[in-house]
Chains A and B, each alone.
Chain A
Amino acid sequence: MSFVEYKDLIKDGDTAIVFLGHGSMFPVRVQAGGQTQTKYGVIRHSADLIGKRFGAKVTCSKGGWVYILHPTPELWTMNLPHRTQILYSTDISLITMMLELKPGSVVCESGTGSGSLSHALLRTIAPTGHLYTVEFHQQRAEKAMEEFRAHKVDHLVTVRNQDVCKNGFGVTHAADAVFLDIPSPWEAVGHANAALRVEGGRLCSFSPCIEQVQRTCRALEEHGFTEVHTLEILLQAYNVRTVNLPLPDLGKGATADAADAPSDVAADSGPPPPGMAQFKSGVPLKEMVGHTGYLTFATKSLF
């Protein structure tokens, strides 16, 4: 397994995702002789995981079972140990596309944080690109590097433990894109400009507050960036439900029969209970994420 390449079989040392069902899952480091407890009982790595296929159903000691999944940046984002607030896949998707990332891209990122975005960036720029990520918190920087090694992507990434606002990214005129997720991105815009190629490139800054966005936009214009756009993306998820609504009794009594009822019944969900009309609906979740942050994009151009 690697975060940048699919493998069929689970091996010792792999990171795998244990899927318990209903969106509930957790990551596991596969180790010969290792054991993992789940609510369905214990998983013995040597017997139950190693040599099995990713996507296989694994029966636990109490008879229940789980699925073992190949790691992807998206699954990792949902399961990683948080050391900071992280970026989720909805924002990451837009960042990746609007920064025009692809295999071979050279990207600068700060801060590294918990590495949620980093893994997605590495996935996209592999096998020929490179990520320069800057994290001023020493422990977080070390932890990130450890994870990159465990996930076999360390050859694609350089982690620097320094303050991006003071010391920049440690590269000049090398990057196709720069991403900033720091409290005062406007202080790093000059460094971002220096890190981007002479011919130009793209920049994105993520900030939760509009005041941060305003200062960043002003700094971007002062440094000659163009195409400054601020976006916000929200994810609306739906539960798929079969809903039965009771039909009102309008006093038709015996003359009314089933033919009068709306008959738009999904054949697969069985007949509706008597006096009920049935339909499928995509019901919005009770609560949804209303705001993560504003994404400000800009272009550095040649002139």
Chain B
Amino acid sequence: MAGPKASTAASKPASSAVDPNAIHSLWKAYNDTTPSRLKLIDSFLVFLMLSGIAQFLYCILITNFPFNAFLAGFGSCVGQFVLTASLRTQVNPENRGEFKDVSPERAFADFALGSIVLHFFVFNFLG
């Protein structure tokens, strides 16, 4: 339940080989059924993904010289992405049954704590 790729046009070119009808209906279904809160989270996810892709391209095309700095930056993007995706899953009303112990507020607190810990290590690793 984590992918943001479904949320935007970003997924379209990736799977353009597929029947365009399916893509279109997917996009429509997404737009119609997703609450605005989740859309907000999804837009953040897309931003994180773009940022990660930009860093990865820089590393591949130009240099990976301070490799720890690359890993820290890229790791922060990936880590923040999966933490946000986890938050999205936990607060998604469709998944209420799966997360009996985690209320949306608790999920947000977990998300905040996880992000703080992650960024502590990121800053330590930037060097």
Do A and B share a complex?
A: no
